[in-house]
């Protein structure tokens, strides 16, 4: 009997690098993306079409998209607004990601817009993307708790998810942007969403701020989710959300789900090599919590 698959999208080259003090040139970012491909990852968030003035680490997004054209994989790019969408389309992107907000405070801090205005803009992007044949992933930021407004009403997340899927989003990702969720909270919300929409159109994005990232991945799996964002070397965090520590590490998620019997298609030694690379390039990537143990196990079987 074949193994059930869990999709891991590595967001390190975008979400992971955007808040790093060391700005990596395009060549080094491409080196990291290709290291992830070598490790077997086929879903990678590679760039963001944002203002280089506000996010210098994402300059050269069009160069990265064009360099990856023809490579085998699902390469998504972040677009923050209609202008970003047009730039991504012109560069040849066929899979975009939008960020919406579970709270008013986070929308104002990150997008400098009201949450309603962000929702309206997302609707326009989804309409244009449908006409252009471009696939869309929608991420709901601070889906559990906001650093400005506090706990988020699950009913708002349920309503947003329903609307985004009805408008044409291929996947809606539920994001614990500041790492405030706990497993019981995760399982309650995701079980409700899976019951309403099925698991295939849902994903999760967890941060490890309170050391519960993996526990929350487990809770989401128990609810039926089979798609997760993670960041190589546990690098990253939202620069506009106070308290947002690193994303859950790709190597930790891959280790756990494979030990649980799922298939990821990932080669662990090559993944650890990619983790070492991002640490070398950034100078401060912490690495996965299990990296030392994983290396020792691989050395024993070499």
Q: Which two tokens stand for residue 218?
A: 């487990």
Residues for the chain: how many in total?
Answer: 302
Q: 273: helix, coil or strand?
A: helix
Nearest to 234 by CA among 174, 175, 274: 274
Q: Is 183 buried (19+), middle (13-18) or exposed (0-12) by CB count in 10 A?
A: middle
| DSSP-assigned letters across all residues of 226-247 | -EEEEBGGG----TTSTT--PB
Report the distance separating Cα 171 and Cα 193, nearest Å: 12
Q: Is 90 buried (19+), middle (13-18) or exposed (0-12) by CB count in 10 A?
A: exposed
Report the distance separating Cα 192 and Cα 184, nearest Å: 12
The beta strand positions in 112-166, using DSSP E, are: 135-141, 145-146, 150-151
Residues annotated as part of the active site: 238
């Amino acid at each position: 009997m074949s193994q059930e698959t869990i999709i891991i999208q590595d967001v390190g080259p975008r979400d992971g690098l955007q808040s790093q003090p060391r700005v990596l040139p395009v060549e080094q970012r491409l080196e990291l993306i290709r290291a992830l491909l070598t490790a077997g990852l086929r879903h990678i968030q590679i760039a963001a079409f944002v203002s280089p003035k506000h996010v210098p680490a994402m300059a050269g997004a069009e160069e990265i998209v064009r360099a990856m054209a023809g490579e085998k994989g699902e390469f998504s790019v972040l677009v923050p607004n209609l202008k970003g969408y047009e730039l991504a389309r012109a560069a040849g992107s066929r899979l975009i990601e939008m960020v919406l907000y579970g709270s008013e405070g986070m929308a104002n801090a990150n997008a400098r817009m009201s949450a309603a205005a962000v929702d309206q803009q997302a609707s326009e992007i989804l309409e244009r993307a449908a006409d252009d044949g471009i696939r869309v992933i929608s991420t709901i930021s601070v889906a559990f708790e906001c650093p400005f407004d506090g706990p988020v009403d699950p009913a708002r997340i349920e309503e947003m998810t329903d609307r985004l899927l009805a408008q044409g989003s291929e996947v809606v990702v539920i994001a614990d942007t500041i790492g405030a969720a706990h497993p019981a909270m995760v399982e309650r919300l995701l079980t409700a969403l899976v019951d309403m929409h099925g698991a295939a159109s849902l994903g999760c994005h967890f941060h490890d701020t309170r050391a519960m990232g993996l526990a929350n991945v487990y809770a989401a799996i128990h609810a039926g989710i089979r798609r997760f964002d993670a960041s190589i070397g546990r690098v990253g965090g939202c620069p506009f959300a106070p308290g947002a520590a690193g994303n859950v590490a790709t190597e930790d998620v891959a280790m756990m789900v494979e030990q649980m019997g799922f298939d990821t298609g990932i080669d662990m030694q090559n993944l650890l090599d990619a983790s070492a690379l991002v640490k070398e390039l950034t100078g401060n990537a912490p690495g996965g919590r299990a990296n030392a143990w994983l290396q020792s196990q691989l050395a024993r079987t070499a």
